[in-house]
Amino acid sequence: MRLTPADLKPLLEGMEACPHRILGFHLLSEGGSVVRAFLPGAVECRLLKGKGAKGLAMERIHEAGLFEATLKDSEHFDYKYKATYADGTVHTLDDPYRFLPTLTEQDLFLIGKGDNHQVHHKLGANLRTIDGVRGVAFAVWAPSARRVSLIGDHNLWNGKSHPMRTMGASGIWELFVPGLEAGARYKFEIVGPHSAAPFVKTDPCGLQFEASPHHAAIVTDLSAFVWTDAEWLAQRRRQQTHLQPVSVYEVHLASWRRKLEEDNRVLSYRELGAQLAEYCQKQGFTHVELMPPAEHPFDGSWGYQVTGFYAPTHRFGSPLEFMMFVDTLHRANIGVIVDWVPAHFPRDSFALAQFDGTHLYEHADPRLGEHQDWGTLIFNYGRHEVRGFLVGAALSWFERFHIDGLRVDAVASMLYLDYSRKEGEWLPNRKGGRENLEAIEFLKQVNALVHLYHPGAITIAEESTSFPGVTKSVAEGGLGFDYKWNMGWMHDSLDYFKQDSLFRKHHHSKLTFGMLYHWSESFVQSFSHDEVVHGKGSLMGKMGGIDFATKAANLRCLLALQWAWPGKKSLFMGCEFGQIAEWNHQQSLDWHLLQYPLHSGLLQLVHDLNFLYRKDSGIAWYESDPANFSWINPDDGDQSVLTFCREGRDCTWVFVGNFTPIERTYRLGVPHSGIWEEAINTDSAHYAGRGLGNLGSVRAESIPLNGRPYSVEVRLPGLTVLIFRQTKG
């Protein structure tokens, strides 16, 4: 294999797509072998065979740093290079071009089909030992690129030093670099199909990234971490969440708490893990939900414009420290749900947009490929490799970081091709309809695989339309989510409670309408971050009333209604103690408010609601069963009183809500005789109420009412919810 000038030209000009055909070890047709090294900047190079060898001087066949040695050896042998550079420095280097590909034909086939469910162990940067040599296997999908090179600290970011080899029609480029270790920074330098000018991209499958504006990926080794959550994971596999109480605390990690005395710095993953575990245990939440912890460049996106779909953000520490964060919460019996954003990605030039010089991850046609509302790009779910990339990202969070669930953002925007578009701004599907058929199949696949590989894990859809079967199983023709945020109930409830109590009788149907569709899906009753941003004010601020005491009383009623209503629970941070100011992602929650009774009382109420919900876990057992719920009197709008009954496996709840300031003596029917414990009274002095109520209980009388054989007469303070409970004998 003798080189001609035509052979050398692509390599020297940085356009060689198959560097292994020139560099490394090659047998010669006339016998013997040749070894070639391309070391830009080197003035001398020796070939080292075996330990302690002085080495063989290699001929410098081009001044750019191309060296060659002809040998009598006709069998492959281990070797290294000893290179001397113009500044006098000497480096001993292993040869990346002497190794066989790290990807098999089977790997390439499955990645091409989008069916390699652990694609993150094939693409990206993976620490490997090959032929006894420790190094990093790099691989990236860039099918339209004419050349891809690995650049980083190891080669002074020189795109000519480490050209990668193309793996045929797969569009994948690969290179094993011996000697590299965890901590190495790297990117990919790409020459696209339309210009000879190279551009630089970070690794789509990177596991760790440095901060803006550099965005280099960092080789990461997770093998050293020792998990201590085996008992938690075993319990998760055994339990069925739809039969268990689920109370989720939604958190933005950068603004939950900050160290004000240390220049307002954010907490680390270590600090967050310890403090959130203690707080959620104390308050009775079963899960935390993290606003997207994946890597993102812009703080103001709150994590919803992701550039590193496989990487925990650098803002709070390393991936190993994120693992510690999750492990700490699991030891406290707190589950971890992660917001996941497969609906779109930002246009940042260093990331996925036009990754190989073409519209690779996104659609080329803006009628399919652009989110007009958010200025972002939409994934091409019909492309197998793109679908495989996203599926791998979802599964990697469970596998690598032991998370317990995904809350999938903006599902409605994925389901419909005309989402937030006018006529002429969208293209119909192949059947002429408005549904995004490829996105629908993608969501089904993700949900099916999460449940296959990680039994007990949950998926939750933020889906704001009436798309059918969101929480039906894939086998039944549904999307396969476990739960769906109940956006309709949330909007109706907030619309009701913002009304002046004088006019609430005209809006009473907003409290009851949700039950007409409630059993169509498995719902989470959620008040999320979306309700306390962009000028909407805080949850406390939305409440009717001209003074904070009245607003707090209304908020206590709303939260008690949320916990008593069928469905799982989710509450955004700060709402549990009545944050007054609208949420600001750049500063801590206003924890100082807890010195005031109105706010500490709200926090105590959420604590008591959570612990009642968990104590009477049988209520959750039948939460998806219509037989669990019955109206006592849904039609008392004139008095703005709402009453209903919840039947659990081992107890019964009766809910009584008075949503005017007028105190009433009120009789209502109940299903059982005997004593009914006043388990929750939102007017309790413990919650900064007036302390009016029923002295802890009421006794049912044999006076039929509301279609029930018994009834109770209760003292019903103004702007108050009472929850009575009775255990089953």
CATH number for the domain that contains residue 30: 2.60.40.10
Confidence of residue 3 (pLDDT cuts 50, 70, 90): confident
Average pLDDT of the chain is 95
Residues 447-453, mean pLDDT to the nearest whole number: 98
Q: Of 178, 197, 218, at which residue does a domain stop?
A: 218
List phi, psi (to 5°) of 560.
-65, -40
Report in angstroms the alpha-carbon separations of 212 from 321, 660, 705.
20, 52, 66
In contact, 288 and 280? CB cutoff 8 Å: yes
Q: Is the pLDDT of residue 558 over 70?
A: yes
Do 86 and 120 share a structural domain?
Answer: no
Residues 348-354, mean pLDDT to the nearest whole number: 97
Residues 370-381, mean pLDDT to the nearest whole number: 94
Give catalytic residues, as residue numbers.
Answer: 409, 462
Residues 480-493, mean pLDDT to the nearest whole number: 97
DSSP state of 306: -
For residue 691, is it within any domain? yes
Do 63 and 37 share a structural domain?
Answer: yes
For residue 233, is it within any domain? no
For residue 169, is it within any domain? yes
Identify each DSSP E strand in 451-548 by its residue range: 458-461, 483-485, 523-527
In contact, 74 and 68? CB cutoff 8 Å: no
Show the domain range for 131. Answer: 105-218
Residues 242-254, mean pLDDT to the nearest whole number: 96
Q: Residue 445: what pLDDT? A: 98
Do 78 and 18 share a structural domain?
Answer: yes
List phi, psi (to 5°) of 537.
80, 175
Q: Of 65, 98, 131, at which residue does a domain stop?
A: 98
Do 674 and 635 share a structural domain?
Answer: yes
Do 112 and 44 share a structural domain?
Answer: no
Do 213 and 111 share a structural domain?
Answer: yes
Residues 629-658, mean pLDDT to the nearest whole number: 97
Do 112 and 52 share a structural domain?
Answer: no
Do 58 and 128 share a structural domain?
Answer: no
Do 214 and 115 share a structural domain?
Answer: yes
- pTM of the predicted model as reported, rounded to 2 decimal places: 0.96
Kind of pairing between the strands at 376-377 and 370-371: antiparallel
Q: Is the pLDDT of residue 111 over 80?
A: yes
For residues 572 and 592, give the distance between their C-alpha atoms in angstroms, rounded to a whole number. 18
For residue 361, is it within any domain? no
Do 173 and 83 share a structural domain?
Answer: no
Q: Residue 49: what pLDDT? A: 86
In contact, 42 and 65? CB cutoff 8 Å: yes
For residue 191, is it within any domain? yes
Q: Is the pLDDT of residue 511 over 80?
A: yes
For residues 509 and 506, give the distance between their C-alpha atoms in angstroms, rounded to a whole number. 8
Quote the number of domains for the chain: 3
Q: Residue 52: what pLDDT? A: 62
In order, the DSSP letters of 407-455 are EETTHHHHHBTTTT--TTSS---TTSSSB-HHHHHHHHHHHHHHHHHST
Share of the chain above pLDDT 70, in %: 99
For residue 322, is it within any domain? no
Do 93 and 15 share a structural domain?
Answer: yes
Q: Residue 6: what pLDDT? A: 86
Residues 331-353, mean pLDDT to the nearest whole number: 97
Tokens in use for 233?
A: 């994971």
For residue 600, is it within any domain? no
Q: Residue 426: what pLDDT? A: 95
Q: Residue 684: what pLDDT? A: 98
Q: Residue 728: what pLDDT? A: 84
Between 624 and 178, name the one with better pLDDT.
Answer: 178
In contact, 585 and 254? CB cutoff 8 Å: yes
CATH number for the domain that contains residue 647: 2.60.40.1180
Q: Of 218, 238, 263, at which residue does a domain stop?
A: 218
Between 609 and 240, name the one with better pLDDT.
Answer: 609
Confidence of residue 329 (pLDDT cuts 50, 70, 90): very high
Q: Residue 623: what pLDDT? A: 86
For residue 591, is it within any domain? no
Per residue in 30-59, pLDDT (tens digit) is 888 999 999 999 999 999 987 666 789 999
Q: Residue 74: what pLDDT? A: 80
Judged by DSSP in three states, 591 sits in helix
Confidence of residue 78 (pLDDT cuts 50, 70, 90): confident
Tokens in use for 152?
A: 């980083």
Between 12 and 123, name the one with better pLDDT.
Answer: 123
Do 117 and 82 share a structural domain?
Answer: no
Tokens in use for 228?
A: 């201590």
In contact, 92 and 80? CB cutoff 8 Å: yes
